[in-house]
Chain A
């Protein structure tokens, strides 16, 4: 949340509860909602890939895929961090839009 301070916004200001409970409220939290869903889905994709890696292949041929899958899992973890930042940015956007639009 250091980003909030750098933008001159109060880090302690309570985030409208309605955005946390219903991020799409009046549309201001829609981007956050989509990013959060995307993060969950992409995380699920990584879980599926990770589960496909058995401890021991029966097939030495399949071993050739292990390294590549592990690289992809690392890249997915990095993407998840990027998405975490995107959640922060879109939460800030939601707050900003909410306040500027004078929503109740």
Chain B
């Protein structure tokens, strides 16, 4: 694990604040390093203690300034002016105690966010808790009220412990939003308390709590320990509690298209073909996914397959997959929430099926190197497709890049190097209930937006989950050895200046 990049200097007109280290954290990949979250906590506590002591000193300087003003009428103008200027400089000058205390606090905030991240990452390295036993299951059946209470507590408790309660439980919580029926999500989104874990980490814990309590909805102990799903073997013991909870709902939801359209099918229509300039670096390729958004003029359900004809005569392909476009599940546009829950649970979605069909229609050969790049849902689908036995048989998928995608529970696709761009404040990346595993073929960039360049809390999902922010994160992280390794693989596929690139666009529709 490596710390790589800082944000730039202060904004125009603002006092300069040196960048806080470790706003970008890189885990896994080729550049291995070591993190001891206890050590980070000790350092965080020392910085907090130093900050508290500085605050007391600042209070004393404030008192000194008041005394000087009281004595101004008695002392000589020259002496009073000098004392006033010097003490003010020490108190509130550009390098005064107030500014220094702020910088110490920012360092503490950065350490705290780093610790939250690495504590979660250490949890993710543990095997998932076992599925409920038959005895536990029978207990639930015999006491449904207790089960419901436990399920509710399973959700509320971790949120309350994290300070995100919709009601005031007397715990540290969101100022001004602790009372009344404020939805938890809204309270979370409006968070401005620097002591709380960032949204991505908080949602990991809440989703884990929800899964632990709600996995009883399915009598796992009465079912076979292993089963096939979408052509792949699954072991119940390897599934996370949120997966055990969501799979039955996803399977039920998968019947929606049949109910709504009388079919489970997906149509793939080529709607365009054009020459484009090669995207020659990681940020550029991630940014290219943004053109698939309907608000950028793309028809709903559009994906893009880019063919790169290298000057060497080699041919490679980059598949771009968009973020969620429809909240209502099961409609004609498959880039919706049904695809989200299906893909989360390992079920083939219309997008996954349509993507594989599009790749075949575009003419990707078994020897052609392929990269899959997706934002949010697009990243989920990319991981699903890359690990799918049919896709693995048909294509040589070497690289997967996801931005803002909850993919921590998904296996690393065989033969592929994956790069995951995440923000600690992005609640969407917390929906998997776990951090991504750190492995040689799997690199995760976790950027703290709140502590990058001075503390800045209350970041809304529009920013923390937005593609432009992820493009900037890719730019900040690309010099890290692990990130550069994947970026080089990606560039080998997406091409270099002078290569010919043709973009084929396909519209996917459920019908």
A57 to B39, CA, bound (A): 8
Counting CB contacts under 8 A, is A68 at the interface? yes
A92 to B80, CA, bound (A): 9
Counting CB contacts under 8 A, is A2 at the interface? no
Counting CB contacts under 8 A, is B60 at the interface? yes
Q: B35, B64, B67: which contacts A60 (Cβ < 8 A)?
A: B35
Question: Which residues between 1 and 51 of chain B lie within 8 Å of chain A, taking CB atoms?
Answer: 1-3, 18, 20-22, 25, 33-36, 39-40, 42-43, 46-47, 49-51
Counting CB contacts under 8 A, is B90 at the interface? yes
Which stretch, B68-76, B225-233, B314-322, B501-509, touches the partner chain A? B68-76
- Interface residues of chain A: helix, strand, loop or mixed (majority): helix
Contact A92 B50 (CB under 8 A): no
Counting CB contacts under 8 A, is B261 at the interface? no
Contact A31 B68 (CB under 8 A): yes
A69 CB to closest chain B CB (Å) equals: 7
Contact A41 B60 (CB under 8 A): yes
Contact B40 A79 (CB under 8 A): no
Counting CB contacts under 8 A, is B103 at the interface? yes
Report A-chain residues with C-beta under 8 Å of the C-beta of B83: 31, 86, 89-90, 92-93
A86 to B67, CA, bound (A): 13
- Residue in A30, A67, A86 with the greatest tally of chain B CB atoms within 10 Å: A86
Counting CB contacts under 8 A, is B143 at the interface? no
Counting CB contacts under 8 A, is A5 at the interface? no
Report B-chain residues with C-beta under 8 Å of the C-beta of A49: 46-47, 50, 104
Contact A61 B114 (CB under 8 A): yes
- Residue in A69, A71, A78 with the greatest tally of chain B CB atoms within 10 Å: A69
Contact A65 B97 (CB under 8 A): no
A51 CB to closest chain B CB (Å) equals: 7
Counting CB contacts under 8 A, is B164 at the interface? no
Contact B78 A7 (CB under 8 A): yes
A72 CB to closest chain B CB (Å) equals: 6
A40 to B18, CA, bound (A): 25
B480 CB to closest chain A CB (Å) equals: 12
Nearest-CB residue, chain A, relative to B54: A45
Contact B100 A72 (CB under 8 A): yes
CB 8 Å contact bits of A48-72 with B (1 = contact, 0 = none): 1101100001111111110111011
Report B-chain residues with C-beta under 8 Å of the C-beta of A72: 100, 103-104, 107
Counting CB contacts under 8 A, is A18 at the interface? no
Contact A52 B63 (CB under 8 A): no
Interface size class of A (residues with CB under 8 A): 35 or more
Given the contacts A7-B78, A68-B20, A60 and B2 also touching, CB distance less than 8 Å: yes
Report A-chain residues with C-beta under 8 Å of the C-beta of B67: 27, 30-31, 34
CB 8 Å contact bits of B67-103 with A (1 = contact, 0 = none): 1101100111011101100110110010111001001
B48 CB to closest chain A CB (Å) equals: 9
CB 8 Å contact bits of A16-29 with B (1 = contact, 0 = none): 00000000000110
A36 to B248, CA, bound (A): 68
A44 to B60, CA, bound (A): 14
A39 to B50, CA, bound (A): 13
Report A-chain residues with C-beta under 8 Å of the C-beta of B2: 60-61
A34 to B1, CA, bound (A): 46
Contact B82 A89 (CB under 8 A): yes
A69 to B111, CA, bound (A): 12
Counting CB contacts under 8 A, is B61 at the interface? yes
Counting CB contacts under 8 A, is B118 at the interface? yes
A42 to B63, CA, bound (A): 15
Report B-chain residues with C-beta under 8 Å of the C-beta of A7: 76, 78-79, 82
Nearest-CB residue, chain B, relative to A38: B60
Report B-chain residues with C-beta under 8 Å of the C-beta of A64: 3, 21-22
Contact A75 B100 (CB under 8 A): yes
Given the contacts A72-B103, A92-B79, A65 and B53 also touching, CB distance less than 8 Å: no
Nearest-CB residue, chain A, relative to B37: A59
Q: B49, B78, B93, B107: which contacts A65 (Cβ < 8 A)?
A: B107
**22 A-B residue contacts at CB 8 Å?**
A31-B68, A38-B60, A41-B56, A41-B57, A42-B54, A42-B97, A51-B46, A52-B43, A59-B34, A60-B34, A61-B1, A61-B118, A64-B22, A67-B21, A72-B104, A75-B95, A78-B95, A79-B95, A82-B89, A89-B82, A89-B87, A97-B74
In addition to A7-B79, A51-B46, A62-B36, 18 A-B residue pairs with Cβ atoms within 8 Å of each other are A7-B78, A27-B71, A35-B61, A37-B60, A38-B58, A40-B57, A44-B53, A49-B104, A60-B1, A60-B33, A64-B3, A69-B47, A71-B18, A79-B97, A83-B90, A85-B90, A86-B64, A101-B74
